[in-house]
Structure 1
Amino acid sequence: MADLDPFDLKILTALQRDATQSMDDLAAAAGLSRNACWRRMRNLEARGVIRKRVALLDPARAGCPLQAFVMVRTNAHDADWMEKFGRAVRLLPEITGAHRMTGELDYVLRVRVADVPAYDAFYKKLIAMVPVSDISASFVMEDIKDTTELPL
């Protein structure tokens, strides 16, 4: 947390919990004046600490209640394959997270879909776009903890 002082941390913590709160409420949470808080927030955005402010949707009410973690292995590690894979990841809206891994797996994808048939359709689109040597999915039965808040 280089270059983040206690006031910045209070601002960031409050914003992670509710980015829609008023500047007055945010300033009060940080223990700053409204103007000082606004300047700090703008500085945090300019430095890229705050990348963007978004709305977090309820997956079930938004039509994609089924979450899967998809494990991908490949025998191809060349630049061409990686470009194809990256393009596929960016083009498929069902993929909400993609991570290149160390260890036995090459990639882990976090996928949101409506149901198992929708997952099957996603699977077919993915393997048509990029060849993989092995792909398997684990479906989430229960979210015990699922947060976007970083531990500050």
Structure 2
Amino acid sequence: MLDQRDRKILDLLQRNAGMPVAEVAEQVALSPSACSRRIQRLEEAAYIRGRIAVLDRERIGVPTTVFALIKTAHHSDDWIETFRKSISDIGEIVEAHRLTGSYDYILKVVLPRVEHYDVVYRRLVKRIELFDVSAFISMEVLKSGEALPVDYAR
């Protein structure tokens, strides 16, 4: 069971995974060794799945975001697994979600420029049959981030 200190540690680390343990400890009113043990326990319990560096998309050269909405006529487990494999090694596809409603999947695609979407599209449709693909260009990011609300953690 998590307490308020655990939640605060999770919140601090997800906003800056490189924060020194001593600084985390100070912000949650623990000794560095006690804080380090809590962090280790949170990692072992899989609350913390890993630590990553968040790269600047402009500097990396992929400032453009396109969302591709996909409809398919296939819904078998085999087709879904083939679809999963088809998108897994296309680096520009950074997220994929199965949906309810009019579309079956949404892909978040990051690109150097809009014109590059056709390259990704062609790679995808060579690998798997799709009924319909509709692409939408993101004009502006209003909110972005990986930070999760920690209040619900049990």
| TM-score interval (norm. to shorter) | over 0.9
* Residue 81 of structure 1, CA deviation: 1.2
- The match for 1:65 is 63
- The match for 1:78 is 76
User: In structure 1, how many angstroms separate the alpha carbons of the residues matched to 2:145 and 2:74?
Assistant: 33
User: In structure 1, how many angstroms separate the alpha carbons of the residues matched to 2:43 and 2:136?
Assistant: 36
- The match for 1:19 is 17
Work out which of the residue numbers 117, 121, 129 in structure 1 matches 2:115. Answer: 117
TM-score (norm 1): 0.95
Amino acid at match of 1:34: P
Is 1:133 paired with 2:127?
Answer: no
Deviations 1:102-142 (A, max 9, x none): 11111111111111221110010011111110101111111
* Residue 145 of structure 1, CA deviation: 0.7
**3-state SS of 1:70 partner:** strand
Work out which of the residue numbers 85, 101, 117 in structure 2 matches 1:103. Answer: 101
**3-state SS of 2:60 partner:** coil
* Residue 80 of structure 1, CA deviation: 2.0
By relative contact order (CA 8 Å, sep 6+), the higher-ranking structure is 2
Runs of 5+ in structure 2 lacking a partner? none
Amino acid at match of 1:104: S
Amino acid at match of 1:68: V
Q: Give the 4+ runs in structure 1 shifted more than 3 A.
A: none
Number of equivalent positions: 150
RMSD after superposition: 0.9
Residue identity (%): 39
- The match for 1:142 is 140
* Residue 72 of structure 1, CA deviation: 0.7
Amino acid at match of 2:119: A
Amino acid at match of 2:43: E
User: In structure 2, how many angstroms separate the alpha carbons of the residues matched to 1:16 and 1:55?
Assistant: 11
User: In structure 1, how many angstroms separate the alpha carbons of the residues matched to 2:27 and 2:83?
Assistant: 43
**3-state SS of 2:109 partner:** strand
**3-state SS of 2:78 partner:** helix
* Residue 41 of structure 1, CA deviation: 0.6
**3-state SS of 2:30 partner:** coil
Amino acid at match of 1:28: E
- The match for 1:38 is 36
TM-score (norm 2): 0.94
